[in-house]
Amino acid sequence: SKGKHMENLPVEVALDSEEKVAPISTFDDAGLHPVILENIKLAQYSLPTPIQRYTIPAVLQGKDVVAIAQTGSGKTAAYMIPTLSKLMGKAKKLRGPRPGASSPKVRAEPLVVIVVPTRELAMQIFDEARRMCYRSMLRPCVTYGGRPYADTMDDLAQGCEILIATPGRLTDLMDKPHVLTMSRVKYTIIDEADEMLNTDWSEALAEIMGGGDTNDDADHVYMMFSATFPKGARQMAREYMSQSYVRIRIGRA
Ligand code: ADP
Ligand code: MG
């Protein structure tokens, strides 16, 4: 099974922060919301992968996280599961007004923004988000360069708590009037950070990490996921993330 294969990954964990995070050994003892636990079961994930064992409790504790692990190690669920779990616990409080209710012209007020380098990845992460949001109040949306704007506008108009986007498309939407506000974003997640810095998305990433000037929430959580942790990514972590961010490295990345 997939789970078995995962257990054979080399495990070399470096927690470089002062703060210790106790890894979970099963999904059931992680303290996750019952709805997400049910969705984990539906996905047939029987045991957390190594990166998930450390990342899930760190995110549940509200920490900023940099997680470095090879492709195929389960990084998507490592951020998706704890982030959605936390929001499910507060869904009533956090769910935005229906589009148009408070600010008539703004279509989407996401709580989570997940930034990925390619359209293929965006669609893949959207699938995982849909599976994990099943039977919850949380509504994922996806957009990327090349997707018709009209389709994105229609999706956003239905309401969007979880936005998955490529950096260029996301900054386009941020720059358009009345489409998207970043002011309610609590979680900013950069996936494949190394890839994105390679393709020189650094300017777009800076705008996204900065929240488009509208978000100065001290509780804002930042996460970066990557196969490697090059200089540019370390710089970004230093600049935007809490000083006590937790760095988790699995294997010999
Ligand atoms: P990465 O982002 O590290 O490359 P992915 O998040 O794409 O890895 O996950 C790789 C595959 O592993 C996906 O097919 C995913 O559904 C599966 N997977 C993730 N977590 C688990 C788990 N705990 N048990 C079994 N399979 C898992
Ligand atoms: Mg990935």
pTM for this model (two decimals): 0.90
Q: Give the distance (Å) from ligand 1 centre to CA of residue 73.
A: 6
Quote the pLDDT of residue 13: 60
Most confident of 73-77, 106-110, 230-234: 73-77
Crossing angle of helices 34-42/119-133, nearest 10°? Answer: 120
Q: Give the distance (Å) from ligand 2 centre to CA of residue 207.
A: 22
Ligand 1 atom, smallest distance to 227 CA? 3
- Give residue limits of the domains in the chain: 2-96+105-249
Cβ of 116 closer than 6 Å to ligand 1, yes or no, is no
Mean pLDDT for 183-205 is 90
Q: Give the distance (Å) from ligand 2 centre to CA of residue 76.
A: 5
The ipTM, to two decimals, is 0.99
Distance CA 222, CA 186 (A): 8
Closest CA to ligand 1's atom 10: 72
Distance CA 107, CA 152 (A): 10
CATH of 2-96+105-249 among 3.40.50.300, 3.30.420.40, 3.30.200.20, 3.40.50.10800: 3.40.50.300
